[in-house]
Amino acid sequence: MLYRLLVKFYVGIYYDPLEKEKYIFKHPQPKRPKSLKMYEAQVGMSDIKLVINTYDGFMVSCSKACAEEGGSCDSVGVAAKESAKVGIFDATAVAIASNGG
pLDDT class for 29, splitting at 50, 70, 90? confident
Q: What is the pTM of this model?
A: 0.31
Residue 20 lies in a domain: no
Q: How many beta carbons lie within 10 A of that of residue 78, not counting itself?
A: 18
Q: Is residue 42 situated within a structural domain? A: yes
* pLDDT cut 90: percent of the chain above it: 4
> Sign of the C-alpha dihedral, residues 91, 92, 95, 101?
positive
Does some domain include residue 12? no
Domain of residue 52 covers 35-101
Which has more pLDDT, 83 or 24?
24
pLDDT band at 18 (very low <50, low <70, confident <90, very high): very high
Residue 3 above 70 pLDDT? no
**How wide is the angle at C-alpha 65 spanned by C-alphas 62 and 68, nearest 5°?**
155
Nearest to 58 by CA among 39, 36, 76: 76
Instruction: Name the domain count of the chain.
Output: 1
